[in-house]
Amino acid sequence: MIDRSSRTAEHVALFRALETVRPGGGLFRDPPARRLLPRRHRTVVALCRLPGVHGALVRYIDRRWSGGPRASAVVRTRLIDEWLAAALTGGARQVVLLGAGFDSRAHRTAPDATWSRDGRAAPGVTWFEVDHPATQATKRRRLGGAARPGVVFVPADLTADDLGTVLRAAGFDPARRTAVIWEGVTNYLDAASVDATLRGLVALCPPGSTVIVTYVHRAVLDGTATFAGAAEWHDAVRREGEPWTFGLDPAEVPAYLRARGLRLVEDLSTRAAAERFLPASRRAEPTAEFYRVARAVVEAPADGGAAVDGGAAVDGGR
Q: What b/e string do you get for 285-311 counting C-beta neighbours within 10 Å, with b at 16 or more?
A: bbbbbbbbbbbbbbbebbeebeebbbb
Least confident of 59-63, 109-113, 120-124, 214-218: 109-113
pLDDT of residue 123: 59
Give domain status of residue 318, yes or no.
Answer: no
Q: What distance in Å separates the CA atoms of residue 178 and residue 207, rounded to the nearest whole number? A: 9
Number of domains in the chain: 1
Q: Is 313 inside any structural domain?
A: no
pLDDT at 315: 53
Q: Is residue 303 part of a domain?
A: no
Q: What is the tens place of the pLDDT at every residue in 113-130?
A: 444 555 444 457 899 999
Rounded Cα distance between 141 and 292, Å, is: 31
Residue with more model confidence, 253 or 229: 253
Question: What's the whole-number mean pLDDT along residues 308-316?
Answer: 46
In whole angstroms, how far apart are CA 286 and each of 43, 142, 179, 204, 303? 25, 30, 29, 37, 39
Would you say residue 202 lies in a domain? yes
Domain carrying residue 95: 2-298
CATH number at residue 193: 3.40.50.150
Is pLDDT above 50 for 2? no
Measured distance CA(207)–CA(261) in Å, rounded? 9
Nearest CA-CA partner of 140 in 98, 164, 107? 107
pLDDT surpasses 90 at 12: yes
**Distance between CA atoms of 12 and 65, rounded to whole angstroms?**
12
* pLDDT of res. 86: 93
Rounded to 5°, angle at Cα 154 from 153 and 160: 160
Is pLDDT above 60 for 193? yes
The CA distance from 233 to 235, in Å, is 5
176 has pLDDT over 50: yes
Report pLDDT for 34.
95
Predicted pLDDT at 301? 66
- Give every strand in the sheet of 94-98, ordered side by side: 152-155, 126-131, 94-98, 178-182, 210-216, 291-298, 262-269
